[in-house]
Amino acid sequence: MAVGRIAREFNLYTKITGSQRLAMFGAQKDDLPETGVS
């Protein structure tokens, strides 16, 4: 449920991949939290 709320909030495309991983696409760089990586 939390993943769905986040996807909706940021208007992301989501899918479950063939290897049972969750993929989320469409985030803008400004939407991502600060990670300290340049």
Structural domain spans, the chain? 2-27
Residue-level pLDDT at 11: 84
Alpha-carbon span 38 to 34, nearest angstrom:
10
The 10s digit of each residue's pLDDT in 2-38 is 888 888 888 888 888 888 888 888 888 887 775 454 4
Q: Would strands 22-25 and 13-16 be described as parallel, antiparallel, or unpaired?
A: antiparallel
pTM of the model: 0.51
pLDDT of residue 34: 56
Please state, in angstroms and rounded to a whole number, the distance separating the CA atoms of residues 25 and 14: 6
